[in-house]
Amino acid sequence: MRQAFHLLIVAILLFGGAWPVTKAALSHATPMWFAVGRAGLAVLVTALLLAVLGRLHLPRRKDVPSVVALGLLQLGAFFVLAHAAVALVQAGRTAIISAVVTYWLIPLSVVFLGEKVPPHRWIAAGLGLAGVAALAGPWAVDWTDHNELVGHLMLVAAALFWSLAIVTTRKWPPASPVFELLPWCFGLATLLILPFALVLEPQGGIFGPSWPFMLYIGLIVAPIGTWCVIEVGRRLPGAVASVAFLLVPAFGVLISTLWLGEPLGWDMLLGGGLIVASVVLASRT
């Protein structure tokens, strides 16, 4: 479990800061093409690295469920929904809601994996969700605004697809190390996202000032952060993983506040404190 928490720290640092970077990039890029670039660059860097290491190979039969779930659900569907939503919703709020797998992962783990969740982890999940509610500040959202409503529904759906991918990899674990499957996962994701970009954004693309952000997200955050998140989801019990992932949006809110000037108030401080407390409680054996 200790190694999983080390990987979680890396995921927090990379993914927590990814949404503010993405929000900044979208000033000179369109969401779907940015998602295509993110996934496509990750294909190239992971395939090249595995080829250099002599570990690039086709997925084995037992790898297929994980490749399909990760490629189409955690990466493809998640990228489509989250990148579309980040254009409609604050970057900090996007980081919060898209990463909140707690309200999906715990019940899915109980139903499909037969996990037994001890009382203190249910309490931890409750604290974490209270922290999310404080961070997201639903009272500050104009729910009559169509864009706001659609953006939030997209983020909730994105979290569901992420959770389904985690459950699949735990139910049918791959025979190969997950890192060796990443080129195929990102390849499937690219194929899923590309039609959305072509249809929804025929005049879109990634333009000059956004390319440094694109290279950072596609070459570093996507391959390394995704690998860390997948391994954390596979190695930790569903209740612990779902609560631990809440640290990602908490860090994302902090970065959004410092970089993009999004407001920091009592709700951010309270929410962050509740999330940290929930992770500490959930990690107890």
Q: Percent of the chain beyond pLDDT 70? A: 87
CA–CA separation, 191 and 197 (whole Å): 10
User: Mean pLDDT, to the nearest integer, of 172-197?
Assistant: 95
pLDDT at 183 exceeding the cut of 70: yes
Closest CA to 92 of 209, 279, 250: 250
Q: What is the pLDDT of residues 215-243, one digit of tens each?
A: 999 999 989 988 988 888 888 777 777 77
Task: Name the burial class of residue 216, with classes exposed (0-12), middle (13-18) and buried (19+) by CB atoms within 10 angstroms of its CB.
Answer: middle
Average pLDDT of the chain to the nearest whole number = 84
Q: What is the mean pLDDT of residues 178-205?
A: 95
* pLDDT, tens only, 19-34: 778 878 888 999 899 9
Say which residues have a Cβ less than 8 Å from residue 29's Cβ, sequence separation at least 6.
Answer: 37, 204, 205, 206, 207, 210, 213, 214
Locate 96 and state its tokens: 């919060």
Q: Is the pLDDT of residue 262 over 80?
A: no
Q: CA-CA distances (angstroms) from residue 61 to 66, 67, 170, 174, 175? A: 10, 10, 16, 9, 8
Closest of 160, 130, 171 to residue 270, by C-alpha: 130
Q: Which of 67, 101, 70, 95 is nearest to 83 (CA)?
A: 95
- With 90 as the cut, is the pLDDT of residue 246 above it? no
Distance between CA atoms of 76 and 187, rounded to whole angstroms? 9
Contact present, 124 and 246 (Cβ < 8 Å): no
Q: Bigger pLDDT: 124 or 186?
A: 186
Q: What pLDDT, on a 0 to 100 scale, did the predictor assign at position 37? A: 95
Mean per-residue pLDDT for 201-214?
Answer: 94
Buried b (16+ CB within 10 A) or exposed e, 225-242: bbbbbbbbbbbbbbbbbb
Predicted confidence (pLDDT) per residue in 103-156, tens digit? 688 888 888 888 888 888 888 888 888 877 777 666 666 777 778 788 888 888
Length of the chain: 285
**What is the rounded average pLDDT of the residues 24-51?**
93
Please give the residue that has the higher pLDDT: either 212 or 88.
212
**Residue 67 vs residue 84, higher pLDDT:** 67
User: Residue 275: its pLDDT value, please?
Assistant: 79
pLDDT attached to residue 95: 63
Decide: 266 and 126 in contact? Cβ < 8 Å: no
